[in-house]
Amino acid sequence: MVVDWSNLPEELLNSIAVRLFSVVELKRFRSNCTSWRRSTVDIDKNTFLGRPVIHFNPIEPSETLLHDVVYRCNPGAVLSNVAFFRVTLSSSPSKGWIIKSDVDIINSRRICPVYPLSRYPLRCYSKSLNLLKVTVSKIQEAYVVLTKAKARVTAPGFQRSAHVKVKEGEDHHHGVLGIRWDGYITYWNGNVLRRLDQMGDHFSDIIVHKGVTYVLDSQGIVWCISSDLQISRFLSASVNETITNGCWGDMRFVEGCRELYVVERIPKENPQKRKDGFKLNYSMTVGFKVYKMDEELSKWVEVKTLGDKAFMMSPDTCFSVLAHEFHGCLQNSIYFTEKLWTKVFKLDNDNGSIITSNSSKSYFQMLSPSFLCNLFRKSKLLSL
């Protein structure tokens, strides 16, 4: 059945238009025909500013007494919003690259590029991106608490962070839940910083999935944090009772296609347990295991293949992409950084292998978009 798109109801066109991801896309939408333009007359461009950046006051020098332990806050800490974008050339939109930025490049056209799998900046002289030559879509975002506004150093109390809405009395307020370097969970609303009472062991990661805040502890047990900051166990079974072999801090959450996964890093040898706050001896990665949450069975099941998906393990957040949508992306794989080297692990029924960017650059094309040299005005990217 042939449909005349110009005769669609204005209410439907308006509903579609407000779901576009940028002002540029709105202009393209309006240029289709007169009826499409007329349906968007009342749309405010501010609709496309995306999720607003939360401006918290810098933490003032203070201290919180909990269980005879004084936790001090460094002054000047700020909340930063980072986002991951899929960028494609308008002339060839089927394959793209991943860009990580500290600002909303979709609407501001300003970009502060950061290497996707680290917090190291990509250096360039110009920060203007021509959105008429590329198509940009947001694929993931995260909030990080930095020690200073112009620094990329994560505050000790927020090695992993999640932006949440917390009930305080009859009101709801925005805040940040973070996992400290010692595995405890802290809450910060911009002024007050406090440590949560917790039942689990040392926590290693936090994520907001389908509106629910989950935290993962060193025993592979997943917990929930309610809107009133109460912690309860999510499933009776852990990810795997023998998953950590006495090591903690090697598991991360990954969200992909609306499903929740846990990824375990397998070290070359068992590192020493952490004692009294001292760091464990780091061991090189030899592989990964992946577990998927099965809500119907109320348990975690090991995943042997990811299909066309690839997991991106960034310090700020971990997420999934479809490999066929990116240049050189290896499907059924896990991308990560280790000692400044970018690597990819091919998940292949317990017979996986690790490939480095030094040995095969083709698998890492999506992380280093060379086309930026042509789109940045008077700019030049320096290789890491």
Global pTM reads 0.77
pLDDT at res. 21: 60
Q: Considering only CA atoms, give the Rg of the chain.
A: 22
pLDDT at res. 107: 56
Cα 242 from Cα 244, distance rounded (Å): 6
Cα 253 from Cα 260, distance rounded (Å): 7
Task: Please report, for the chain, how many H helices and E strands are present, in that order.
Answer: 5, 23
Task: State CA 320 to chain mean position distance.
Answer: 10
Of 28, 29, 20, the C-alpha closest to 47 is 20
pLDDT at res. 224: 92
pLDDT at res. 249: 45
pLDDT at res. 384: 26
pLDDT at res. 74: 59
Strand partners, 256: 259
Cα 312 from Cα 364, distance rounded (Å): 12
pLDDT at res. 68: 40
Cα 151 from Cα 134, distance rounded (Å): 29
pLDDT at res. 346: 93
Low-confidence ranges of the chain (pLDDT < 70): 1-3, 21-24, 44-76, 103-112, 122-132, 149-151, 198, 200, 236-238, 240-249, 269-282, 349-350, 370-384
pLDDT at res. 59: 46
Q: Helix 10-17 and helix 23-30: axis angle, to 10°?
A: 150
pLDDT at res. 19: 74
Q: Check: CB of residue 228 under 8 Å from CB of residue 169.
A: no
pLDDT at res. 298: 73
